[in-house]
Chain A
Amino acid sequence: MAARDGRVLGTVIVGAVALAAAVAAMNTTYRWSRDRVAAHERAAIVARLDSVLDPALRSRDVTTARLTLDGDPLLGGAAPLDAFVMDDGRGPVATVLTVVAPLGYNGPIQLLVGISPQGVVTGIRAVRHRETAGLGDAIDAGKSDWMLQFDARALVAPEPDRWAVRQDEGDFDAIAGATVTSRAVVSAVKNALLYFERERDALYAAAAAESEEDDDPTD
């Protein structure tokens, strides 16, 4: 009986020590990883931002202000969305809106829309979607060049009522076999440009205020 009591005590002690060691190991690993993961996440966003900007901006020194916009029908929904305004020190040089195309074939499609100060599209990328593999997933820049047809387009080129796929009398090619997906994206990009036209000055003012806040040394 004494031997068994000894084993029970040993089990309790070893168990407690093992548990403490496990907590310490996880705690240390978490502390070590946390900042590195956050840095990767920031870099992942920045990497995606670059893909929708005018390539000429990549070599220039710009500061990026991050804004959180209230939901708006033109942005595709009621949930707040991120927006980024790039400034080269003399004024805003680019804006990136994250927008949602609510009517994708398999649910909402999230897009990054790069827009120049003149309202010209500098790039569109799908960042999150569940479109059908082999058909609608042609909106991924790695899978086809379909998204590139928006580059250099604006609300005057074509006229707003020509912002549609060819099947709907518009100027844009649809992805073969994925007309619903194509319609959703064309309409989301058009709406993003309409939003930008309406809100540009407010966006730039908010970005300027944001940058000033960041410069405050007491912050």
Chain B
Amino acid sequence: MIPPIDLPPAPAAPLWRANWPLVQLLGITPALLGTTSVVEGLALGVLTTLVLVAANAVAGTLGALVLPAARATLHLLAAVTAVTCLDWLVHATLYDLHGALGIYLPLIVANGGLLMEARSFERGRALGAAVAGALFAGIGFTAVLTVLGAARELVGQGTLFAGLELLGAEGASWLTVRLPFDGAQIALAPPGALLGLGILLALRNRSAPGTTTAPR
């Protein structure tokens, strides 16, 4: 029997107080491996947000019509459909971004944060609060991925905002910052991701001590 999961106290909690990677330690795999640059972190975060909003909207709308036990399944069905469609849409429109994200785009569906959201519908959740919660969780997740991507890109290859053309923004490539050093390879390798996440966690714990575990 899986213990019941408590709802976050407020829709806005996952933005910071219950942030997925920094507080609940969810969504770690994409955070660690899919974020070697600002562009990748941002793209992965935004795509996850879209999936979460779609899934929460569907579960929030139809959840009241079905048995509580079926609500998580409904949420997952919506999430899987959204991820599959987004994967094809990105492949068709932003072909190079699809190549850069690789396996981490379809893996959005296995995000721990997403799965926890699915279970939270078993106790019923109003549509408005569910969509708002999805937005806040997604924005909090995107922010962490982007910051982590920025740190790794800066240290790892001495650039910032490289690859903006992957997002279809060729005109914005003047934003790319190139520092006069080639970078330390370790920041781009998996150990660099662990270091980066560890530093962010430490900073987060300093700013709000005693709240590292999932909120009650």
Interface residues of A (CB under 8 A from B): 7-8, 10-11, 14-15, 18-19, 22, 25-26, 29-30, 32-34, 36-37, 40, 44, 133-134
Contacts and interface: CB of A to CB of B under 8 A. Distances in A.
Given A26-B81, A32-B89, A44-B95, 6 more contacts: A14-B62, A15-B73, A18-B77, A18-B78, A36-B93, A134-B185
A14 B74 contact: yes
Contacts of A18: 58, 62, 74, 77-78
Contacts of B93: 36
Interface string B88-106: 1101110100000000000
B208 interface: no
Given A18-B58, A33-B88, A36-B92, A11 B66 contact: yes
Band of interface residues on B: 20 to 34
Given A22-B77, A26-B84, A134-B185, A15 B70 contact: yes
Query: Per DSSP, are chain B's interface residues mostly helix, strand or loop, or mixed?
Result: helix
Nearest to A17: B62
B89 A29 contact: yes
Nearest to B69: A11
B77 A14 contact: no
A133 B81 contact: no
Query: Per DSSP, are chain A's interface residues mostly helix, strand or loop, or mixed?
Result: helix
9 contacts: A15-B70, A25-B81, A29-B85, A29-B89, A32-B88, A36-B92, A37-B88, A37-B91, A133-B189
Contacts of A32: 88-89, 92
A13 B122 CA distance: 18
Contacts, number: 60
Contacts of A36: 92-93
B72 to A, nearest CB: 12
Given A14-B66, A19-B77, A133 B91 contact: no
Contacts of B62: 14, 18
A40 B74 CA distance: 34
Contacts of B188: 133
Interface of B: 58, 62, 65-67, 70, 73-74, 77-78, 80-81, 84-85, 88-89, 91-93, 95, 185, 188-189
Given A22-B81, A26-B84, A134-B185, A37 B92 contact: yes
Given A33-B92, A134-B185, A15 B74 contact: yes
Q: Which of A32, A33, A133, A134 has the most CB of B within 10 A?
A: A33
Given A14-B62, A15-B66, A33 B77 contact: no
Nearest to A26: B84
Q: Which of A18, A34, A133 has the most CB of B within 10 A?
A: A18
A26 B88 CA distance: 9
A40 B92 contact: yes
Nearest to B85: A29
B65 A33 contact: no
Contact of A10 (B65, B78, B95): B65
A10 B77 contact: no
Contacts of B85: 25-26, 29
B81 A11 contact: no
A18 B65 CA distance: 12
A19 B92 CA distance: 24
A32 B85 CA distance: 10
